[in-house]
Amino acid sequence: MSALDQGDDTRDGADLRRFAQRADLLVAAVQELSLARDLAEIQRIVRTTARALTGSDGTTFVLNDGGLYCYYADEDAIAPLWKGLKFPQETCISGWVMRNRQAVIVPDIYADPRIPHDAYRPTFVKSLTMVPIRTLDPIGAIGAYWADTHVPTSADLQLLQALADSTSVAMENLRVQGELERRVIERTEELTRANSAIRALSVTDELTGLTNRRGFYTVCERAMAHIRRVMLVYLDVDGLKRVNDLHGHAAGDDMLTGFAAVLRVALPEANVLARLGGDEFCAALFDPVASAEDMRRRLAAALDVFNAAATRPYRLSFSLGIVEAEGGDAGMLDSLLQQADELMYREKNARRVAN
């Protein structure tokens, strides 16, 4: 074998070893890309791997911005290039690559009319190659740049395109993952709203919108252990059965919702306003400031305003009993309700006797 043949064999062996090393770099990058969870991580992997694969002086990661612009999202270079800038696709080489869906090699940028020379003059670039990220419908491009005149080999171009193809898969996976996460978040929010609505319905009186008996007990029993004093205002709407019998249940329902409105106006500071059932209502005030007499006066004033506001087939009135007690014992709630109920009935019976 001649010395010339031996030299050729040595070069071929060196080229094979170099290709094998770069192939290993590509395999490692593909594995990293498969684990990337955001675009910044994908950009980091691509810019560093592209430079190592091509032996270039700089690389850029370009995104297709709405089919109109090229956005230079990231770079790894010996001097600044165009990171963070946008260019119209019809005026730059990355736009040409994306629109034509093919790679390009430019040995001398100043001899190629597709290159915007003014944008390149402040840079070190003399030669470049660029490949599309996804050839079918490009979502970006990867560029490699050299400070001296350089023509990459076909192997260089194949490796760079393989990196770009793997990048497109990683970006699509990222998009799908983001869509799935968005749907999970939306579904979770829907379920949370539904559960909140269900919980609200389970403790809300459907007719008046006040708390129901279950909700009243739930709130009060939890609060009793932490408050100093509690005031219960127990109320009964007078004449509900008679209104139902004479004017129908629609009028009776109107009577109950009207009374709920009176309670809201008269007792805005109440911690719980509840319809316990039928014509019975109760307001609970934790550590109240107002006195029982204040409660009576305010309820009477709100009732007068309600009765004077419109013509109805009934006149709203009520009986009430008010009890106050020390807090600290949730077990005393039933006893307090019974005391307030008894006081309310005494008042109702006294009014019947008087009439």
Q: Which residues are catalytic?
A: 279
Is 325 strand, coil or helix?
A: strand
* Token duo for residue 305: 């305003």
d(CA 65, CA 138): 11
Return all residues near 90 (Cβ < 8 A) that are at least 6 apart: 99
Coil, strand or helix at 142: strand
Residue with tokens 């007990």: 217
Buried-state track 65-90, b at ≥16 Cβ within 10 A, e below 16: beeebbbbbbbbbeeebbeeebbebe
Is residue 87 within a helix (H) or strand (E), and if so which, with residue range?
Answer: strand 86-88
Give the integer Cα–Cα distance in Å for 42 and 39.
5
DSSP for 62-81, written as a single string: EEEETTTEEEEEEEEESS--
Instruction: Give whole-number Cα distances, 316 to 137, 212, 238, 241, 275, in Å.
Output: 73, 21, 7, 13, 16
Terminal Cα distance for the chain, rounded: 134
The alpha carbon of residue 251 and the mean position of all alpha carbons in its chain are separated, in whole angstroms, by 45
**Which spans in 36-153 are helix H?**
39-54, 93-100, 117-120
Q: Which two tokens stand for residue 35?
A: 């684990």
Which residue is associated with the tokens 């109702």?
348
Q: Which of 351, 315, 345, 350 is nearest to 234 (CA)?
A: 345
